[in-house]
Chain A
Amino acid sequence: MSAQMDTPMVIQLRELAKTYRTGEVDVKAVRGITLNIHRGEFVAIMGASGSGKSTLMNMLGCLDQPSGGTYLLDGVRIAGLNRKQLATLRNRKLGFVFQSFNLLARTSALENVELPMFYGMPLVPLREQRERAVAALKKVGLGDRLGHHPSQLSGGQQQRIAIARALVNNPDVVLADEPTGNLDTRTSIEIMGFFQELNESGITIIMVTHELDIAAYCKRIIVMRDGQVISDTLNANRRHARQELDILNQAEKTAKLA
């Protein structure tokens, strides 16, 4: 099941499995997932807690090694890579957006966004780092907040910094783990609007969420239970954040006038 069969595959999973040993008991968090994700897709991974979606996400993000099966990221086999190689891979090919933003405190928005380039190899020249970080922040509408620290910004703004950070190294895939979990409804719609815009410009996005109305902004919805994929469908009734925001703004205006 894929929305964009015409583009090359960026993620290929074959019988991917993950088993944790806790004491005497083996916990099979992910039990044999096979799926492909093509460039330009916008995929939601849904499931209740304990369904294995976080474990799958950690493996997709090269933060965790699978215990079985194969995972090819942009053609690179992940199994057998060491910590250093995984770090390099994360830096080059992946962008992360977390539920709790995970920005460096007491560090300016600009420096937070520069961070992935800081760890790049070879190093991006410092001036180019600055230019790219400023451009990324402008893209998410924070061009006037470059020097602000996360604590001086709202949750929505912090998440936008995180998105800018995820984009600044031109990743193949952006992985978002419950990106709207800590945000109110309106800010959530704004953030989803950003993701939709990014996706339209060609960036592959994989998002974990347990909220159906957030998953509704994606093109493809994968549902997991007990470590397996139980449904993988294209989203027929896709929500469009831009339109919804326009309607909301309109409604607010009329409310104020009245």
Chain B
Amino acid sequence: MILIRRLQTVMLRSLLTSMIALRALRRNKLRSSLTALGIIIGVASVVAMIAVGNGAQARIESKVAALGQNLLTIFAGSRRSGGVNSGLGSASAITLADANAIRMEVTDVVAISPEVSTSAQAIANGRNWSTSVVGESPDYLKIRDWNLDSGSMFTDREVRSAAKVAVIGSKTARELFGPLDPVGQTLRIKNIPFVIIGLLASKGAGMGGQNQDDRVIIPFTTAMKRVTGDKYLRSVNVQVVSSERMEVAQQQIASLLRQRHHLGAGRDDDFNIFNQKEIADTVGSISRIITLLLGAIGGISLLVGGIGIMNIMLVSVTERTREIGIRIAIGAQPGDIRLQFLIEAITLSLLGGLIGVLMGVGISQLIGLVADFKAIVSTGSIILAFSVSSAIGIFFGLYPASKAAALDPIDALRYE
């Protein structure tokens, strides 16, 4: 009974003490808001930076995912002649036979598409348009996780017969046919007529920024025989059964190709294998580091804000030494004084935290409008920023508050 009454007293007194603290803050409006500004900026930057980092990360990851699922791309190695490096795919190293061997011997490969490509002028509907012409297998759309808006993909039979059929990108279609449905129309490449049998769904810019929607996909056999005349492949796209098997498949393909190309020990590969998972992992870890870095920058400003609070609270304690002396003389317990100043500090930082979260969310939305990705405000970062700011209030408020509580009433009353 006595205990409950004591508890009631303590709670009521804490409430009244908070009111005193709030009143003191209201009296110094300018100073209080400037002090809180440090925390506001800190919290806002933590929230916004993490949101921007997360948004960028998600954006990059989606780009990598858009390359296709569990994708390995085997490029012919670079060709050097007299110190001039002509870049990937320039060497004439990978043949159709290599691609067939990969399909037959590497068991984890579930889909494969030999690729040749060239730039050519496409003519149709009385217009012409320079586009990239790519030879692929019917597996290509599955490998790249790509859908058709209308029509269908060519078949293995059409590959075998080197049929003059094409599937075109949305950009190419728009340039040549405007709003008309291109499926069933004919377009000419190098004076060869191709029947358009499918229209690709729009995929947007790729990892390198090139427009993936501006292309004409034809069977690789047709491309090699009639368009490019190449005997060699530019690359081979391979889909592996699962992400766990990626590494094994990559090693098997590499050793198979080395064997087929008669590369002895000590000689460099004449091909390169790009592992989509590796790229995704690398990109993911880079963007995580960036997010962490951005968060850390925000965290530092939060710390600076906390020091600002401590500074102002120390000034406030000195200024109000006499008031503290009066309160102690009249019977305030040290705990009452400590609580009063602690509540001031916590109120400042919590209020700053609240405004900071709102501002951080606002800034994230603004950045989302300007940038080509959406800033993702996570509940976690809000909770983190909020709890850190209140912890800062307690941590940086405790020293000034304890200093106030430890004042000697006689000295404090004499203080001018």
Contacts and interface: CB of A to CB of B under 8 A. Distances in A.
Nearest to B332: A119
Contacts of A123: 8-9, 12-13
Nearest to A166: B330
Contacts of A122: 5-6, 9
B330 A61 contact: no
A102 B333 contact: no
Contacts of A92: 331
Interface in A89-129: 90-92, 96, 98, 102-106, 115-116, 118-123
A123 B8 CA distance: 9
A83 interface: yes
Nearest to B27: A106
A96 B413 CA distance: 12
Nearest to A91: B331
B410 interface: yes
B410 A104 contact: no
Q: Point out which of A91, A96, A119 has the most chain B C-beta atoms below 10 A from its C-beta.
A: A119
B321 to A, nearest CB: 12
Contacts of B323: 104-105
B16 interface: yes
Given A58-B410, A102-B322, A118-B13, A87 B6 contact: no
A119 B331 contact: yes
Contact of A120 (B5, B6, B331): B331
B410 A87 contact: no
Interface in A193-248: none
A88 B331 contact: yes
B299 interface: no
B409 interface: yes
A121 B8 CA distance: 11
Contact of A63 (B12, B27, B409): B409
Nearest to A93: B331
A57 to B, nearest CB: 10
Contact of B336 (A61, A96, A119, A165): A119
B326 A104 contact: yes
Nearest to A54: B410
Contacts of B322: 102
B144 interface: no
A204 B413 CA distance: 23
Interface string B47-81: 00000000000000000000000000000000000
B334 interface: yes
Interface of B: 5-6, 8-9, 12-13, 16, 27, 322-323, 325-336, 409-410, 413
Complex A-B, nearest 10 residue pairs according to Cβ-Cβ distance, in ascending order: A91-B331, A119-B331, A123-B9, A119-B332, A90-B331, A102-B326, A63-B409, A116-B330, A87-B333, A122-B9
Given A92-B331, A106-B27, 18 more contacts: A61-B329, A83-B334, A84-B333, A87-B332, A90-B330, A91-B331, A102-B322, A102-B325, A102-B329, A103-B326, A104-B326, A119-B327, A119-B331, A119-B336, A121-B6, A123-B8, A123-B9, A123-B12
14 contacts: A61-B329, A63-B329, A63-B410, A83-B334, A84-B333, A87-B331, A87-B333, A91-B331, A102-B326, A104-B323, A115-B326, A119-B327, A121-B6, A123-B9
